[in-house]
Structure 1
Amino acid sequence: MVLGSKIFRQKTLYEVLSVSEDASYDEIRAAYKSAALNTHPDKAHTTLESSVPSNEQQEFLSVQKAWEILRSSKSRADYDKQLQSSRQNIEIIASEIEVGDMIIESTADSMELLYPCRCGDYFSITSCELGDMGILVTDDGEVDPQASNPASASVVLGCGSCSLKTRLVIDKTS
């Protein structure tokens, strides 16, 4: 999911800890300990209680987040899949659509939003998948403006049969 437009490239969790992506658990743990000591707020004589974190605090929080994800083999594997996917998402988007352009099919426990592809198949996403991203869709196919995410977001959807991609633009302000 792309929220807004970021021009700068965000560091990977491996870059935050200064380790390679194939680093062992012990290498990650040692890098975390070193980074945590070097970026700890006590070292900079600041506190984490400020409402706007300083650069040093942000760096420390990034180190903490990296450790929380990379220390567990399951969350690390999930992160690696997400990282690989994000690297492959540098493809050309065929079109942009909105939730209102999609066909809604309701099932017992969720809704599936579909948009026809020129190959005859569909681009699809479920309301549960959108909900996991913090985007709530009402039964009539409208985006719930009460959700806590930013006013607009987008999701790249792949066709079920061909290689075409479309961007689902979600605007909660309308």
Structure 2
Amino acid sequence: MGLSSSISVQKTLYEVLSVSEDATYDEIRAAYRSAALNTHPDKARTPLESCVLSGEQQEFSSVQKAWEILRHPTSRADYDKQLQSSRQNIEIIASEVQVGDMIIESTADADTVELSYPCRCGDYFSITSCELSGMGISVSGDGDGEVELQASDSPSASVVLGCGSCSLKIRLVL
């Protein structure tokens, strides 16, 4: 359910070259030269004909890519914007909530149940049984306000819910 970014999961180009994000062109060039010498495929003992890139070859390829982007001021600025944007998109979960902590209400349609949890801003985090079903999570109730959720593909799962008014998010643990 959560947002993920390939930049936040992988090393940044700055980390590949072992330089800080405010490094000068000369520092980036020196780091590139050093990394290129240390990771060059000719230093590896594996044959170059292999179809699968070895770890050294992948590392050298990463160094080359970092240099290609960071050496040009415009491509570096674009990369910095993308990196900053990806960092802002990382979800910060305010808390984890169990199903038993949720307020359970039947809607006008007797087949639909709404689960909600109060946010500190005064609004609610909410999700309906229809939305959960669309995610492959079955909702079963006993008619007394007790609801059990079960993910069809996993014995334990979670759903990230956003507040209706503010930017806070919670994780509903199933």
> Shorter chain as normaliser: what TM range?
0.3 to 0.5
**Greater fraction helix:** 2
**Greater fraction strand:** 2
Structure number, greater radius of gyration = 2
TM-score with structure 1 length normalisation? 0.47
